[in-house]
């Protein structure tokens, strides 16, 4: 069944609004196929929602994406929650966001268990040796991809360089860098409009915007839940804040503030507030805390965790699930390590993704009233530029710990490699992976698989 919309004098056929069951099937499909990081996931949703099914118009899709990019947490999963909420209210958002994460979370739990049980086996160690080299190439490719999109002028390049120096040399905390970048973009917009603004969208594309199911439902006044009520913010906070932080407070009260459970709940709750720019941007901060401060895992294991997350569907930030699993597994106390690790993974998932629903349900009605806001766009542009610098730091951190066996600290806490500890095999595999991804345009999964097999062959010799 279709309905007709008017685009000037030309009628445009638009599908009828999907049922809740139809939407659930699509969200399950997207959750199972969402490989390739946020870029691939957003492209998949655009294809399914905008191009093929026309459930939402181009302009509104990009408007929702811009808001999600301003939020901490995985923007692709939050975009799914946003569109699900538009179509079927809170229940639609819950189903969309949960199914986007659930397949990858189950796979990641199985991989984390397997890794902790068998990572000392020679064959497994050789496979992960190759995966680490490929992960370095993946991160370098991410720096280039994000940089091309974000660094549109000298001011944004300067912002990226400043962010890199702030986190690498000055060791400033990641949340402070993000807040400073957003503030600079917000203020800069008043004195130099357009300096930090994000890419324009929607111009000359009103036809595409009106042709979406959601857009026609707006025109017919059928989406009353998108209009914020007087008590919307207070009610949302009263429901979702206890859901998010209540279990963390309860666990800390039962096990003590110094327990691994309290540490996992508190640390990853903080990450849920400061993970602007996606998983790559926050990994350097997570790695520093998980490796140095808490001692949950080693630098090499952190790279292994990212390699596992790269091979699963769902948001890349599922790497945090691996960290939570490792932390609880190694501090299990009186219970089974596998059970403890599984509980640690579930706790990490809870405090990582419950806030994602909270941000969308809290802010989406207001954002729908702000279809164009130059100050928000400028803040987003400045934050995205700063994220490039942070991801550059992550790439350097990975390179030091993958290609060299030892690093040492010099002045200002800067780490430099001990060149005599160069691992030529890791350097060779990393170079080959970079050629495959950057020059030959090989996909991420084939590159990871090829590098793992190559690592197995090199270790055999």
DSSP 210-223: HTSHHHHHHHTT--
Please state, rounded to an integer, the average pLDDT across all residues of the chain.
Answer: 82
Residue 12 belongs to a domain:
no
Q: What percent of the chain has pLDDT over 90?
A: 28
Q: Give bridge partners of residue 7 from the DSSP assignment.
A: 10
Indicate the pLDDT class of residue 13, thresholds 50, 70 and 90.
low
Q: How far apart are CA 355 and CA 377, in angstroms?
A: 22
- Range 424-447 average pLDDT: 84
- Range 287-294 average pLDDT: 83
Q: How far apart are CA 193 and CA 377, in angstroms?
A: 10
Q: How far apart are CA 2 and CA 216, in angstroms?
A: 12
Residue 294 belongs to a domain:
yes
Residue 203 belongs to a domain:
no
- Please answer whether residues 16 and 220 qualify as being in contact, where contact means their C-beta atoms are separated by less than 8 angstroms: no
CA nearest neighbour of 340 among 319, 317, 324, 318 = 324
Residue 234 clears pLDDT 70, i.e. is over it: yes
- Range 364-389 average pLDDT: 78
Residue 297 belongs to a domain:
yes
- The pLDDT of residue 424: 86
Residue 315 belongs to a domain:
yes
Residue 392 belongs to a domain:
yes
Q: How far apart are CA 287 and CA 281, in angstroms?
A: 11
Per mean pLDDT, which range of 244-258, 328-342, 354-368, 390-404 is the poorest? Answer: 390-404
Find the domain containing 91 and state its range: 22-197+210-460
- Please answer whether residues 136 and 306 qualify as being in contact, where contact means their C-beta atoms are separated by less than 8 angstroms: no
- Please answer whether residues 354 and 347 qualify as being in contact, where contact means their C-beta atoms are separated by less than 8 angstroms: no
Per mean pLDDT, which range of 94-103, 137-146, 258-267, 446-455 is the poorest? Answer: 137-146
Question: pTM of the prediction?
Answer: 0.73
- Please answer whether residues 216 and 14 qualify as being in contact, where contact means their C-beta atoms are separated by less than 8 angstroms: yes
pLDDT in tens, 311-359: 778 888 898 999 999 999 999 888 999 999 999 999 999 999 999 999 9
Per-residue b/e over 338-363, b at no fewer than 16 CB within 10 Å? bebbbbbbebbbbbbbbbbbbbbbbb
- Please answer whether residues 356 and 144 qualify as being in contact, where contact means their C-beta atoms are separated by less than 8 angstroms: no
Per mean pLDDT, which range of 100-114, 169-183, 220-234, 238-252 is the poorest? Answer: 169-183
Residue 3 belongs to a domain:
no
pLDDT in tens, 131-181: 777 777 877 877 787 677 678 888 889 999 998 888 888 878 777 887 888
Per-residue b/e over 113-133, b at no fewer than 16 CB within 10 Å? bebbeeeeeeebbbbbbbbbb
CA nearest neighbour of 132 among 417, 407, 448 = 448
- The pLDDT of residue 342: 95
Residue 32 belongs to a domain:
yes
Residues 6+ apart with CB under 8 A from 148: none
* Overall domain count for the chain: 1
């Amino acid at each position: 069944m279709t309905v007709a919309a008017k685009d000037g004098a030309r009628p445009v056929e638009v599908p009828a609004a999907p049922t809740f069951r139809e939407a659930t099937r699509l969200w399950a499909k997207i959750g199972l196929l969402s490989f390739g990081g946020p870029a691939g996931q957003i492209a998949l949703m655009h294809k399914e929602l905008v191009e093929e099914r026309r459930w939402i118009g181009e302009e509104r899709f990009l408007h929702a994406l811009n808001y999600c990019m301003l939020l901490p947490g995985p923007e692709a999963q939050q975009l799914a929650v946003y569109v699900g909420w538009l179509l079927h209210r809170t229940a639609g958002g819950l189903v969309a966001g949960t199914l986007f994460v659930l397949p990858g979370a189950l796979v990641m739990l199985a991989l984390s268990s397997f890794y902790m049980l068998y990572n000392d086996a020679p064959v497994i160690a050789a496979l992960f040796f190759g995966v680490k080299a490929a992960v370095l190439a993946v991160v370098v490719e991410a720096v280039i991809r994000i940089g091309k999109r974000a660094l549109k002028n000298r001011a944004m390049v300067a912002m990226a360089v400043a962010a890199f120096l702030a986190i690498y040399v000055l060791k400033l905390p990641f949340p402070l860098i993000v807040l400073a970048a957003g503030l600079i973009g917000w203020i800069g917009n008043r004195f130099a409009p357009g300096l930090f603004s994000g890419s324009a969208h929607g111009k000359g594309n009103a036809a595409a915007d009106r042709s979406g199911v959601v857009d026609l439902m707006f025109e017919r006044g059928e989406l009353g839940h998108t209009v914020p009520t007087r008590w919307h913010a207070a009610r949302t906070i009263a429901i979702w804040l206890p859901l998010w932080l209540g279990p963390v407070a309860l666990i800390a009260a039962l096990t003590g503030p110094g327990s691994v459970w309290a540490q996992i709940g508190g640390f990853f709750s903080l990450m849920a507030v400061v993970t602007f720019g996606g998983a790559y941007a926050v990994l350097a901060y997570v790695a520093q805390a998980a490796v140095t401060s808490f001692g949950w895992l080693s630098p090499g294991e952190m790279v292994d965790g990212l390699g596992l997350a790269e091979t699963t569907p769902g948001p890349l930030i599922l790497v945090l699930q691996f960290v939570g699993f490792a932390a609880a597994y190694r501090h299990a106390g009186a219970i089974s390590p596998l059970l403890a690790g599984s509980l640690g993974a579930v706790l990490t998932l809870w405090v990582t993704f419950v806030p994602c629903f909270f941000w969308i349900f809290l802010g989406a009605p207001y954002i729908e009233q702000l279809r164009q806001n130059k100050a928000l766009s400028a803040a987003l542009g400045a934050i995205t530029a700063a994220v490039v610098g942070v991801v550059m730091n992550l790439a350097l951190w990975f390179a030091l710990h993958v290609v060299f066996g030892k690093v040492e600290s010099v002045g200002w806490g800067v780490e430099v490699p001990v060149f005599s500890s160069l691992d030529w095999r890791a350097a060779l595999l990393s170079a080959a992976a970079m050629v495959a991804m950057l020059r030959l345009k090989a996909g991420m999964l084939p590159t990871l698989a090829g590098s793992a097999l190559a690592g197995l062959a090199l270790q055999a010799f």
